[in-house]
A and B are shown apart, each in its own frame.
Chain A
């Protein structure tokens, strides 16, 4: 008997009496989906929200926010940057990116989380090898809580999907919180409607 069949047989034999599967409520009555709630919760997780530029020039805003950086790599046509994600052949090439730019598909107000997948990133490592990440978010594309978020079809379609909530972080030494563990050091969200 293969290990597979042996394990399954033993599991079948040892399974306790069946118990029912409960249905899960949405717990979303009266919950806010505003950018303000999103912002409050993202701030708690170490991310920040920056107002969009009055003149609509996102590139100028990003260079202004990060004056000392060399490489800005954008995965969204709304920002040009100076390195096109389309030229990237292997994810390792993104290691010298200072600022990655991407548009999230949607946000979650409850936690300040952003939903991203390979459809947004093109090369997923952009969200991890970059030193800083700028995320565009349509303020109209915010769901109330995780129950709503997990209804999204993206989880069935995407190869890789991630909720990012602020920068990478660690508190493994004496509980001292450090932003910029192995991935991005800062996360900046700019609320801009999707065209």
Chain B
């Protein structure tokens, strides 16, 4: 399995200046809207603590809640399936579809089905799969995975969408008006809703007490996917459980405020019992989650409600784009989840962070994201998964930072070198830091020189 080279992949993203600037601004705008919304709720910090505690309670009693959910869903007339991994999930979905001779599947956005790579699996077996969320559809038609868990095509500009739609659904290649593009997708998708044999959703929450599946969406596509076809499927990661209906209030009040800076999603939909004359299936998926639950440092990541706020606030994510992570989950939350799927493949990701802690401070369920990133770095170093250059650089850095004398000598040499060394010495392949950045001009004197000149040994002003 090839190691994902995040730095290399982001360099492509960084080269497209207008894309980079827009991406950075758009996500920072979401962060600012999120701040405005959260600050308007006096009990916001208390809600975060409650959400975290509810999730921790659920995860530490998860087996009981899963059984309760299964019992209640079955009593509601829903057929519940269990999938150990991605491949079993895909097989189950295929079997359900084939048992009803379903050929066309309309589906809402689901990170879980992306994680399981379900779409190509079904398509290769003759099932027509239509993503119905606008962003997800753009990505499907462009044959790219989503780059963000909430806004899948956020890395694209309108001209990119225009190019994709012109080549696939026959829009006017010269027209990149956003209203025109969105309306074209609506018109193109509606017939699929009407004729689809089956519909599919993921889940934001699954309520053990009632066996209810809850999805929070804006476009209306999840409801159309469930309310028209005779066959309905919901795929749910086992960590989506919450104990009771009343707990939904805590999460619903925070999810969209934290994700998009809107008070609530346009639709908060609760599916409990299949419509008369139709059938509904739920697939409960593990795919590594039960194992993660047993990892002392890392099980907290299972609290995640997929709001994407950690991505929007992350300076590395905003300037490298989701696709550069080479994984279903990108940004800070991806950095701490992905290595549990494949440590070697994703061993570079925990280094795609400045450890500034902003992710942790915006997390609605209080996951200690930046601490987990740091811990993953330790795991990766211990298991010798560090790339050679990084390891060498870190060993030298460790020696230099560990010795005041060496450090001072290095700082002074560096100050001189930034000014006088030729560029190739500074921006060489061994200095990963200098690849997309200019080294700032060195100050006229070091802090230590300034301090010795201006302060006494006791720290008083001279």
CB closest chain-A residue, reference B270? A161
Residue contact B266 to A166, C-beta cutoff 8 Å: yes
CB distance from B209 to the nearest CB of A (A): 8
A33 within 8 Å of B (CB atoms): no
Q: Known: A24-B247, A166-B266. Contact between A19 and B53, CB under 8 A? A: yes
CB distance from A50 to the nearest CB of B (A): 19
B166 within 8 Å of A (CB atoms): no
Q: Which one of B63, B82, B218 contacts A3 once the chains associate, using CB atoms below 8 Å? A: B82
Within 8 A of A (CB), among B266-307: 266-275, 284, 286, 290-291, 293-294, 296, 299
Residue contact B220 to A182, C-beta cutoff 8 Å: yes
CB distance from B141 to the nearest CB of A (A): 13
Residue contact B224 to A41, C-beta cutoff 8 Å: no
Residue contact B263 to A92, C-beta cutoff 8 Å: no
Residue contact B84 to A3, C-beta cutoff 8 Å: yes
Inter-chain residue pair count (beta carbon < 8 A): 239
Residue contact B264 to A165, C-beta cutoff 8 Å: yes
Question: Which residues of B lie under 8 Å from residue A173 when comparing CB positions?
Answer: 134-135, 138, 153, 156, 158, 161, 178, 181-182
Question: Which residues of B lie under 8 Å from residue A45 when comparing CB positions?
Answer: 262-264, 266
CB closest chain-A residue, reference B153? A172
Residue contact A15 to B212, C-beta cutoff 8 Å: no
Interface string of B387-430 (1 = CB under 8 A from A): 00000000000000000000000000000000000000000000
- Interface residues of A, count at CB 8 A: 72
User: What would 14 more interface pairs be, CB under 8 Å, given A27-B43, A172-B182?
Assistant: A7-B284, A8-B66, A91-B227, A128-B220, A159-B272, A159-B274, A160-B226, A160-B270, A172-B133, A173-B182, A176-B178, A178-B178, A182-B132, A183-B219
List residues of A whose CB falls within 8 A of some B CB: 2-4, 6-8, 10-22, 24-25, 27, 41, 44-46, 91-92, 95, 110-113, 118, 124-125, 127-129, 145-147, 149-151, 155-156, 158-176, 178, 180-184
> 25 pairs across A/B with beta carbons < 8 Å?
A7-B66, A8-B66, A10-B294, A14-B291, A14-B299, A20-B57, A24-B250, A44-B263, A46-B266, A146-B252, A147-B249, A150-B248, A151-B246, A156-B210, A160-B227, A162-B270, A164-B266, A165-B268, A169-B218, A170-B219, A172-B133, A172-B138, A174-B157, A174-B158, A181-B134
